[in-house]
């Protein structure tokens, strides 16, 4: 007997949608297929269409081909007015689970073999109603930049911090090595990761003023136990980065941090020279971690943590791809769920392109815009179709 997992491994994503994506509409309102609309939306995104109007024109212009690819009988194209209403009514949690089942990468917890994961929030700025604040929180691997988990933040009074803690808990990623920006530098999040057996590395800024002053004082009064310096030149800038590590055993921490096992302070100094402007800028950042400093090889610890800091910056650059290549911030939506659905499909499009190991996302989108056959080959290869 074949179980569901084995069946899913043979199904394409479109086939999985047909089988498992629910349609809760009244029978009188089922003129247009949800599966067809979702599939066409993703293909439109992959061919460089970002707005609802652009995707609607894509569907109208390619209706026979889209029906051929999906295997769904041909009907008239959905109207421009109805398309956003249909998208706004889609079930985000179920869609997210089905995408994860087809393309998600689950990271198993193995003692001594943790993976570095970056947590990064992205606001969806296109929602037209100010009281419907919408964001997505992404968990992305440092090395391959694969999204291994995501959650949505809904409403003007919602906070990214508890959403992130729930994401880490529900995916088991709090057992891994996790980098976070200063927004998540709080004792509840760090304690959760510590108690789950994971490692955290989070920046310290003014939102934790006392801790920041303690890190600054530590770096000024104590010698570092190890450091590493890197130089690179790109985009007309020459940058020197120096990372130093300091044990925090001598720091009198507030009792709030007791369960976080705060062990190491990482100080990263950067000196950047802009060649065209002949201008030099400097800055210093502070990070905390429960990563213990290696007793006999502290240089190993500082090299690993310095690399984790740099990789976290690299992962944050994915937001640039969403905004520049996919024009996410310029896409206006009429409801929060519509914005979240379009954001989730945009993330799926990025994940599909990333499976092709692109050197340039814009070039990949241009290639698919120029060649429908090339797009079809890719989508069949990754079992989207």
Q: Shortest CA distance to 72 belongs to which of 24, 37, 25?
A: 37
Considering only 89-93, 110-114, 356-360, 373-377, which range has the smallest mean pLDDT? Answer: 110-114
Name the more confident of 5 and 310.
310
Q: Average pLDDT in the 332-340 region?
A: 85
Distance CA(191)–CA(223), nearest Å, equals 27
Nearest to 200 by CA among 173, 171, 228, 229: 173
pLDDT band at 7 (very low <50, low <70, confident <90, very high): very low
Is the pLDDT at 104 greater than 90, yes or no? no
47 confidence band (pLDDT: 50, 70, 90) = very high
What is the SS3 assignment for the chain?
CCCHHHHHHHCCHHHHHHHHCCCCCCHHHCCCCHHHHHHHHHHHHHCCCCCHHHHHHHHHHCHHHHHHHHCCCCCCCCCCCHHHHHHHCCCHHHHHHHHHHHHCCCCCCCCCCCCEEEEEEEECCCECCCCCCEEEEEEEECCCCCEEEEEEEECCCCCHHHHHHHHHHHHCHHHCEEEECHHHCCHHHHHHHHHHCCEEEEEECHHHHHHHHHHHHHHHHCCCCEEEEEEEEECCEEEEEEEEEEECCCCCCCHHHHHHCCCEEEEEEEEEEECCCCEEEEEEEEEEECCCCCCCCHHHHHHHHHHHHHHHHHHHCHHHHHHHCCCHHHCCECCHHHHHHHHHHHHHHHHHHHCCCCCCHHHHHHHHHHCHHHHHHHHHHCCCC
Smallest CA-to-CA distance from 312 within 150, 114, 144, 179 is with 179
Q: How far is CA 334 from the centre of its chain?
A: 24
pLDDT at 318 over 80: no
**Per-residue pLDDT band at 136 (split at 50, 70, 90):** confident
For residue range 347-372, list pLDDT tens digits in order: 999 999 988 888 889 999 999 999 99
- % of residues, the chain, pLDDT over 70: 92
The answer, yes or no, to whether residue 340 has pLDDT greater than 50, is yes
Bridge-partner residues for 200, per DSSP?
178
Buried b (16+ CB within 10 A) or exposed e, 215-244: beebbeeeebbbbbeeeeeeeeeebebbbb
pTM for this predicted structure: 0.84
Mean pLDDT along residues 124-137: 69
How much is the pLDDT for 64? 92
Q: Which residues contact 366 (CB under 8 A, 6 or more apart)?
A: 48
pLDDT one-digit tens code per residue, 181-239: 999 999 999 999 999 999 999 999 999 999 999 999 999 999 999 999 998 887 788 88
pLDDT of residue 126: 65
Predicted confidence (pLDDT) at residue 66 exceeds the cutoff of 60: yes
């Amino acid at each position: 007997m074949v179980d569901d997992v084995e069946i899913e491994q043979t199904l394409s994503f479109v086939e999985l949608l047909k089988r498992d994506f629910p349609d809760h509409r009244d029978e009188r309102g089922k003129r247009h297929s949800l599966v067809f609309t979702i599939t066409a939306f993703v293909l439109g995104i992959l061919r460089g269409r970002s707005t609802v109007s652009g995707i609607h024109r894509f569907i109208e212009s390619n209706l026979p081909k889209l029906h051929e690819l999906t295997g769904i009988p041909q009907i008239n194209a959905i109207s421009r007015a109805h398309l956003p209403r249909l998208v706004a009514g889609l079930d985000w949690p179920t869609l997210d689970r089905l995408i994860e089942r087809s393309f998600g990468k689950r990271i198993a917890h193995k003692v001594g073999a943790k993976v570095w994961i970056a947590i990064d929030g992205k606001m969806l700025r296109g929602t037209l109603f100010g009281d419907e604040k919408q964001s997505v929180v992404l968990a992305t691997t440092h090395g391959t930049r694969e999204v291994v988990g995501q959650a949505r933040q809904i409403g003007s009074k919602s906070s990214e911090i508890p959403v992130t803690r729930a994401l880490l808990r529900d995916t088991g990623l709090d057992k891994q090595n996790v980098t976070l920006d200063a927004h998540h530098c709080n004792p509840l999040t760090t304690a959760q990761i510590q108690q789950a057996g994971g490692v955290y590395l989070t920046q310290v800024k003014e939102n934790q003023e006392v801790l920041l002053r303690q890190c600054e004082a530590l770096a000024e009064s104590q010698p570092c136990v190890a450091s590493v310096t890197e130089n690179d030149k790109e985009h007309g800038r020459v940058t020197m980065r120096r990372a130093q590590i300091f044990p925090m055993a001598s720091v009198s921490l507030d009792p709030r941090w007791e369960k976080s096992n705060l062990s190491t302070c990482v100080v990263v100094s950067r000196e950047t020279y802009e060649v065209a402007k002949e201008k030099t800028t400097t800055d210093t950042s502070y990070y905390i971690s429960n990563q213990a400093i290696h007793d006999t090889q502290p240089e190993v610890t500082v090299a690993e943590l310095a690399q984790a800091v740099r990789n976290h910056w690299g992962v944050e650059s994915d937001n640039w791809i969403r905004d520049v290549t996919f024009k996410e911030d310029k896409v206006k939506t009429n409801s929060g769920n519509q914005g979240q659905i379009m954001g989730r499909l945009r993330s799926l499009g990025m994940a599909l392109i990333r499976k092709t190991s692109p050197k340039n996302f814009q070039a990949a989108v241009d290639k698919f815009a120029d060649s429908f056959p090339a797009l079809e080959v890719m989508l069949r290869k990754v079992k989207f179709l």
